[in-house]
Structure 1
Amino acid sequence: MIVITGMHRSGTSCVAGLLARCGLSLGTTHPLLNESRFDNEMGHFENKTVIAINEVILQRAGGTWYNPSSPESILEAGAALVPSITHFTHRFDGRLVKDPRLCITMPIWERSCFALEGIVFCLRNPMAVAESLARRDGFPIEVGLAMWFEYNRRFVLNVPSLPLAILDYDTIAEDLSEKVSTALSRVGLEIFPREVEDRIGGFYNHRLNHNPGGGNRGAQVPDAVWELYEVLRAKALRPASHTLTAA
């Protein structure tokens, strides 16, 4: 099972749609959150069971998706959901799941899901994420930046020793087929860029990226947030170096 994750509003839905078109099945055994909405016109490509499990973990830990509790609380609360994750893994007939909350709950899934094969991590400029959250949810920019930092920091702390691809959503339109092909290769699926181009034709639309960020730093972005972004962005720019350590 390939996992797509990353901070909310970081292109995880777009990447899930692209990889699904390249042959990674989203499964038929569980319903999907996939209707077109104003915030994701092409769909979310999220497994509702995965969302529900992760939401229960976050809530039992005393937090929410926008204000997750401590890693220790997540581990303690998640222990009760191990049977649910194991049951899901046995029943799921797809190969691809996507949920930004997995940045926070990954330690529970790593412990419970025997089918994990690899991870595709979506990175986006923190200011672009904060602006997108402000547009969709009304969050102040500083709240969005704090969320970006926490999700990305937790992912670095939690990332399992599995094949990992990091995709920079801000630059994904540049050599799109090549980047998707490279990401697929890193998680064990070899599809040449020309075939990727044929499969994803018409799906990606750069106009749906309403908050392009690029590599620009907003004045409100704290040093710690920008430093983490630059570290992860450097990894995304070097496909051969997609390994992360908490240090």
Structure 2
Amino acid sequence: MLPKPEIASDMMAKDVPLVRRNSRKASAPKLILVLGMHRSGTSVTIRGVHALGADLGDNLMKPVADDNEKGFWEDLDFNRINERVLAKANSSWHYLYPLDTALFQRSEFAAERIEAAALLSQKLKKASVFAVKDPRTAVLLPFWQCVMDDLGIEPSYLITLRNPLETAESLRKRDGFDRHKGLVLWLKHVYEAIRGTEKAKRLFVSYQNLMADPRGELERIAEAFGLNMPSDESAAFKDYASDFLDASLHHNRISANELRRDEAIPAPIPELYDLVSVWCGFDPEETATLPEDLCKDVNAYFDGRGDFLEYSDRVETTLASVRKQVKDAELKVKDLDTQLTESRAQSARKTEELETLLKQQDEQLQEGQVRLAELEARASHLEGELRKAELASEGLVSQLAAARSDRQMSEQRVAASQEELAKVNAGIAKLSGERDAMRAEMSDAKAHIDRLKGNLAAHTAELAHSVAKIERLTESAAGYEAVIRELRKDLRLQRASLLEMRNSSSWRLTRPLRGVKALAARSVGVVRKAGGSKNDV
């Protein structure tokens, strides 16, 4: 067991009446309430109670960086009710003016009492030992004691103590509170926690002692409330003493002697701190009550400054509202800055994409223009070829006309020969008597006829070939004329499309590639078709 802090012997004898109890391990309570001022070690204390086997509920407040990194270990359901009750009483956890304790038994708080009773009953059903902490409970004890009386519950209390100067400094860093306000808040919370639990089972725990000797303090708590103390090798104790507790949790170390050196500190604060420091060293079976003189001093301090404290709370409310508005405005400005940055980034990306697209479109337009020039050159070449074909066709037509003239002449010759043959046959008939004389002449005539027949056959074959050639040329000429008409039509369309594309900025950005691709496809088809027709010729 830790040694008790050294204090003046006359203070121990006069101000701390002791009551001895039988030395025995107490039976485990059903409900343990951890009380104390904010930033005074309530989180560290209830985490230790949890290591002793107490259940803390399944809806705990999450840790907050740069505030309570190891966790608050605070039930959000109880916190929500406490906030509602304070708000309904036109108060807050950081108000200096004491609450009217009779207020919470009035009918206007019936709904909150019923909800709190249902919540507490539900939590207790799930655990053999349930522990809860919220520093607001210290100033709301009359409300919760009314609820617990209705449920027939006798809770046990763990009251935490920390140097009020350390608490005030922690509040200054976290909330921006003036040191004097932090000290008065400490006095209000600690005093009301003590006065509200005078007839109940309670134990005082020093934050400094718990950090310095966690095993010794946990043994005090376990012995006082009948809980099981885990061994040093158990996971529960190691998690708490080694992993959870570390020196970084004890910020703002200030000597308690500074309380007595600073005359600006309200007089009841050092006296109350010294007294409770002694109680934090008591054995579990020992208890103490507040001296009457100290109670009068504390009450006189709050009563004598009631108007000022109430005004201070109103000013603080206004300041809190202004701070919230400023914070909201800062968050809004930050959000707008973020949106502006994102918009600028998106605009830059979009501009870059459009520039890339424009560059691609320009390249495609240039390629289309080159391809169009190639197609125009190809069309010009095809026009020249067509002209040549037309000239060749005209030559073939002339040849066909000449062949037809030759054929007519040959036919006339054949007719003349036939007439002459008829005359010869007639002369033979008539001149049968002259047959011998005419044989020589007849033989010559036959030879001449044979030659004429050969010439006739040759002319006939040549005529047939010329006719076939003229038919093919006629078909080829018709194909070329169709190709030329299609090319001229496409050329007119492409020139019109090009003119429209050059005059329209949106078309220039989106359509040139498809137009050129279609033109190229049609031109290739036309060229292939023309090439096929030429090969047929």
Fold shared per TM-score above 0.5: yes
Deviation of 1:175 after TM superposition, in Å, equals 2.0
Q: Deviations over 1:94-115 (max 9, x none)?
A: 4111111111111221221244
2:256 corresponds in structure 1 to 215
Question: Which structure has greater helix proportion?
Answer: 2
- Kindly provide the CA deviation profile for residues 16-59 of structure 1, in whole angstroms up to 9, marking residues without a partner as x: 2222123211123xx21132431111000111111111112211
The one of 114, 136, 151 equivalent to 1:83 is: 114
Query: C-alpha displacement at 1:118, in angstroms?
Result: 1.1
Q: Distance in 1 between matches of 2:143 and 2:92?
A: 16
1:63 aligned onto 2:91: yes
Distance in 1 of aligned mates of 2:231 and 2:257 = 29
TM-score (norm 2): 0.43
Q: Which moved more, 1:18-27 or 1:236-245?
A: 236-245
The equivalent of 1:11 in structure 2 is: 41
Aligned equivalents of 2:113, 2:176: Cα separation in 1:
34
Match for residue 21 of structure 1? Answer: 51
Matched, 1:168 2:206: yes
Q: Please tell me whether residue 227 in structure 1 is matched to residue 227 in structure 2.
A: no
Aligned length in residues = 245
What's the counterpart of residue 108 of structure 1?
Answer: 143
> Kindly tell me: are residues 181 and 58 of structure 1, through their superposed partners in 2, closer, same or farther at Cα, counting changes over 3 Å?
same
> Which has the higher Rg, Structure 1 or Structure 2?
2
Partner of 2:229: 191
| Distance in structure 2 (CA, Å) of the matches to 1:38 and 1:116 | 37
Distance of aligned partners of 1:214 and 1:238 in 2 relative to their CA distance in 1, 3 Å threshold? farther
Residues 58 and 74 in structure 1, CA contact (< 8 A), matched pair in contact too: no
Cα RMSD for the two superposed structures: 2.2
* Structure 1 residue matching 2:87: 3-state secondary structure: helix
Q: Which TM-score applies when normalising by structure 1?
A: 0.89
Q: Spell out the pairing of 1:38-49 with structure 2 (5 A cutoff).
A: 38-49=66-77
Which of 238, 243, 256 aligns to 1:202? It is 243
* Aligned equivalents of 2:177, 2:187: Cα separation in 1: 15
Residue equivalent to 1:50: 78
Corresponding residue for 1:237?
A: 281
CA contact (8 A) 1:5 1:120 kept: yes
For 2:287 and 2:231, locate their aligned partners in 1 and report how far apart those are by CA, in whole Å. Answer: 20
- Judge which range, 157-166 or 91-100, deviates more: 157-166
Counterpart-to-counterpart distance in 2, 1:86 and 1:246: 34
Structure 1 equivalent of residue 193 of structure 2? 155
Query: What secondary structure sits across from 2:160 in the alignment?
Result: strand
2:48 is aligned with what amino acid? L
Residue 226 of structure 1 aligns to a residue whose secondary structure is helix
| Residue 404 of structure 2: aligned partner | none
Cα contact 1:65–1:101 (8 A) shared by 2: yes
Unaligned runs of 5+ in 2: 1-30, 293-537
Report the Cα distance in structure 1 between the residues aligned to 2:258 and 2:37, rounded to whole angstroms: 18
Q: Aligned partners of 2:272 and 2:257: how far apart in 1?
A: 14
The structure with more strand, counted as a fraction of residues: 1
- CA–CA separation in structure 1 for the residues paired with 2:119 and 2:198: 19
Cα deviation, 1:171-215, whole Å, max 9, x if unaligned, reads 322221111121122122131664674452321012221112353
Say whether the 8 Å CA contact 2:52–2:227 is kept in structure 1. Answer: no
Tell me: higher relative CO, structure 1 or 2? Use CA pairs within 8 A at least 6 residues apart: 1
Instruction: For structure 1, list consecutive stretches of 5 or more residues without a partner in the other structure.
Output: none
Instruction: Report % sequence identity.
Output: 25
Q: Is the 8 A contact 1:121 1:166 kept in 2?
A: yes
